[in-house]
Structure 1
Amino acid sequence: MRHGIWLGGTLSLLTFAAHAQADAQLALGSRARVSQLFAYPNNCSAICYRDWSLEQTVEHYLKQSVQRDGYSNAQVSVSSKDGQLHATISGVPDGYGQPLEQLLASGDLAYQGASKLNAEGKWQYNWYFFLPLGMALENRRSVELLHFPPDYSLTQAQDYLESKTTDRWAELLTQNGVPPEQTPAYQTIIDIAPIAAPASAGGSLEDTYSYFQAYQTSMVAQLTANKQSTAPSLPMVAFGSPVRDWVNQQYGVNLKVLGLDQITPAPGRTVAVLGSNHPSYIWYAADPENHDGDQSKADQAGIKVMGQDISAACWQASMGRDPGADAATTLHSCTQKWQVADQQQTCQLFYTSIRDLTPAQAQAKCAASEQTAAGT
């Protein structure tokens, strides 16, 4: 059974500049519903890794959201009365709870899909239903469309942004001028399979997409919408071939790596979408075993992918700062910067972040490669 959510007061989302402070009062629903949507208990078998109550679990994720929205002084409390859970968030703008209301309503759709998967015998024992909890709810800058979250983000970290994938991409965003403390606002994630699973589960999860279509499309429409209704939609990056294929099929476009297109997730509203490699693809591309053991070829392949990735992160950072900018012009500027003007910096970044060389070693490697390419 699905339960509604109400917010105290008018459901109006004020602009961040207004800074209207209020207490957001949210009725989250029954204990059963909240347990489902917050993957409770997050980390228990015979022994709980973190022995939290349901109320503590919800508080944990809501605190992550308010911090990532920039409300460092906000307070969150969750209580239970007559079998219903309620949340109070103080020190946030009036209407702050509306995005959470939308997320959990979409989560109901996702849970229906997961339940159908299980009823048909297709759910696997080491999968965990996991919504993108703890994200910036209001002050997001861009959206990242990915495949599925790694299992340890739920069972160990209880942090949707705690993964090698998100850490690497955050580093690329900082290389493009995003302060480290602001990267979570750019990394609002939608996974087209809301299932925390081992890294090896990618192939089997591709068969689950159709069960989550209502969830996927509602989330894309919600999270790409600018909080100022008249402002341009937020940019979105589609990571990895399964995700790019899903976007192409769902929205009738043709995204490739560094391919740019527009989708219409809601009537009268378009969203600029850029295709990208999956953030972890570079380790596959740069593995010598995939190049007959040739280290030089593996390095060159990795440098090429690094150029693509940092160009995509440049586009995301630039469009996140100014969603009204021309998406194609921005992409051209980014590829010119990282693949032409700053090739040496791109090369050095590959060696320091992927090969773990020191900056001096990386500089020497890239200088030698440039001399070899020039025939000197």
Structure 2
Amino acid sequence: MVPGRLNCTFIQLSNELTLANDHPDNPLQKHRGRGAVSNLAGRFATNISTCESDGWELEETPQRRLRTEALPERAKSIIASNRSPDIPFDQSINPYRGCEHGCIYCYARPAHAYVDLSPGLDFETRLFFKPDGPALLEQALRKPGYDCKPIALGSNTDPYQPLERQKRITRQLLEVMHRFQQPVTIVTKSQLILDDLPLLAEMARDNLCQVAISVTTLDNALKRQLEPRTAGPAARLHTIEALSDAGIPVAVMAAPMIPAINDSELEAILAAARDAGADQAAYILLRLPHEVAPLFRQWLQEHYPDRLSHVMSLVRQSRGGRDYDSNFAQRQTGTGVFAQLLQQRFRIACRKLDLNRRRQSLDCSRFAPPPCAGEQQSLFQ
């Protein structure tokens, strides 16, 4: 043991999730611009290490700045199929793995465990992008047996997270879809989508594009805690307005609704989005699959310790006594008194605000692969 150093201890994990930061000498830490307060071990890890003080430190160690690292991911295919009956799309594309937005509640966090990384801070700082995505998409769309259905962008992580400004993978995917007349739906909470406004407006004129903007809260302070690297509430409402003014069908996603944290804002979010130009709306009750549950508890302990027990009690009342129930029939809305009241409030608000009255399906009949380089356009199309 070296005086003045932090010495590492290795811990054998059981099948239950164990926190490397649970040791009393190694407390959880807030990091500026990050949502998670630990690098929770993934559920497939067999060993973890934790640093322990030997008591010889002469001064407090300065907090390490967490930098974002982006690595290319060589994918074999780009379109993922969906068979979940509660999800309104059959196929999706995720240009990025991990998300710098850092939303503490993100149900995509557990996916980082599949690449031996933490669903905690690693999910926000160790990102992957798919440079071959546009080429793979073109290959998929040219296959003779391809059945054209709308493709969802942003079903797992945000396609317009900050990394998109550099890599432009989402933009390239949209350009391929535009050439093929492939319909697309997009979910985002980023103003970066406005960089692609002319392209999206052109696709919308042919009924090939719909966008949903996620608005979790209208409170800037809460936004900074929940979603540290996302656009603010006013910016998201402006994005809705700009999309609507450009003729792009736009919906608002009031998601997630977190008991005793932001659920009181449901009606205000829907009204503000309607005033900005949204004509469709949806909501999702907080989901806490796998590692998200302990990460969310850590977040509550750090930011709302006085509400921790109450929030988690309401969550369990809405999930059959557990932190989460993945049953397709209720995982989006939950069960129990709180969930039922939230559902009733949503329906009443939508009726008063004239939301969800008219929903138009995207046009798949226009789909037509363009000629490859060197080929002539058919005279009979």
Same fold (TM over 0.5): no
Name the structure with the higher helix share. Answer: 1
Larger RCO, structures 1/2 (Cα 8 Å, 6+ apart):
2
TM-score by length of 2: 0.28
TM-score by length of 1: 0.28
